[in-house]
Amino acid sequence: MRTRPYAFLKLGKRWINMIQVTDIEDHESKLVIYLTSDMARRVGTEDPQTATVSRRLSVKDPEELIKLRRWLKLNDLE
């Protein structure tokens, strides 16, 4: 039996790194997934600083909604 949550979830043709998910909004017929990633940028100095960039994915396919909700239930820590 697996003792830790799966890190990647395949929805359609894309793989989602669920570790980078910061928030999920439930809108009944769709779920909106917010992901973050750190990108290095230069802000007028020689030392690169990180900037947090977020992006949003909408899941509308009924089969993918079921799969994502099942993943969330299985990996719920509470």
Per-residue pLDDT of the chain (78 residues; tens, 9 = 90+): 555 556 788 888 888 888 888 889 999 899 999 888 765 555 556 666 666 677 888 999 999 999 998 888 877 765
* Cα–Cα distance for residue pair 32/25, rounded to 1 Å: 5
Can you give the pTM of this predicted structure?
0.68
Token pair in block for residue 14: 């894309």
Q: Are 33 and 57 in contact (CB under 8 A)?
A: yes
* Cα–Cα distance for residue pair 67/10, rounded to 1 Å: 9
Domain locations along the chain: 20-74
Task: Supply the DSSP symbol for 5.
Answer: -
Sequence-distant (6+) residues with CB within 8 A of 47 are: none
